[in-house]
Structure 1
Amino acid sequence: MESSEKPAVIYHPSRPGLEKFWGKLEAELLEIIWSNGPMTVKRALFFIRKKRLYAYTTIMTMMNHLVNKGILRREKQGHSFMYYPTVSKDEFLRSAADEIISGLLADFPEIAEPLISDRSKRLKRRK
């Protein structure tokens, strides 16, 4: 994925896991697709229903939202669409972290630089 095509990063620091970047259902769907590979809405519904009951149209709407946000792409296959991730989970997280840290350093260098340096030193001591 080219840098101009990267999914937009919206960061909510108080939320858990991937919900820092996506809504709860979007995060669950991305985890399912990243773990199991490309799939149809019907297949995603099979996985998601192991946790909660959702309508087919709800899952289809969420997956299409993820297409519009650039994190999934879809291809017509017969009578349905196959949804593919545009980046791996690691690529997304690396890119999102880079964007967040770069933004903090650009906008608030006097605060961000010492904090990042301190956190880095603490992590090195733990190892």
Structure 2
Amino acid sequence: MKVQRMKLSEEGLNRFFGSLEAQIMEIVWGRGEVTIKEVQASLDEELSFNTVMTVLNRLSDKGHLKKTITGKGRNRLSSFQPVQSKEEFIQEQTRAVTEGLVHEYGPIVLNHLFNAVEQADPKLMDLLEARLEEWKRGKS
């Protein structure tokens, strides 16, 4: 599931989610399956049950969480599971962003990417070089 909006001014998961959504996703990814009360108890700040329930339901509606309801009436319990792992989510989002930028602004993006890799970490440049060599061998 592709995130509809990415916030460039934010960092980490806050680029893809609101800050409370990001905190909740971290909790769900860390535990695998959670109830509303478990999430509420795990948050740094005290929030109402209804606030946490609303955010979990919205994350479910957006396709990030799977909601399961068991029991009936007063014994009804909602639990939530991530649809994909944190790693899968990040992989999918970064791929979508990269493909979109390369499609729209190819040469500019490649130049900026090269400069960013060169400045960030020499090991990334080695990885880039290895991937290019692998690509060249496949083209032969």
**TM-score class normalised by the smaller sequence:** 0.7 to 0.9
Task: Give a deviation string over 1:4-29, Cα, whole Å, max 9, x none.
Answer: xx242421121122111000100000
* Matched residue, 1:40: 35
More helix by share: 2
**Identical amino acids, percent of aligned pairs:** 26
Structure 2 residue matching 1:108: 3-state secondary structure: helix
Q: CA deviation at 1:124?
A: 5.3
TM-score (norm 2): 0.79
On the 8 A contact 1:7/1:69 being kept in 2, the answer is no
Higher relative contact order (CA 8 A, sep 6+): 1
Greater gyration radius: 2
Structure 1 residue matching 2:34: 3-state secondary structure: coil
Selected match of 2:3 from 2, 8, 13: 8
Structure 2 residue matching 1:8: 3-state secondary structure: coil
* Matched residue, 1:55: 48
User: Partners in 1 of 2:2 and 2:59 — Cα distance?
Assistant: 9
Q: CA deviation at 1:123?
A: 4.6
* Matched residue, 1:72: 65
Selected match of 1:84 from 72, 81, 105: 81
One-letter code aligned to 2:115: D
Q: Name stretches of at least 5 consecutive residues in structure 1 with no aligned partner.
A: 1-5
Matched, 1:100 2:94: no
Q: Say how many residue pairs are matched.
A: 120
* Superposed CA RMSD: 1.6
User: Partners in 1 of 2:65 and 2:4 — Cα distance?
Assistant: 14
Q: Name stretches of at least 5 consecutive residues in structure 2 with no aligned partner.
A: 125-140
TM-score (norm 1): 0.86
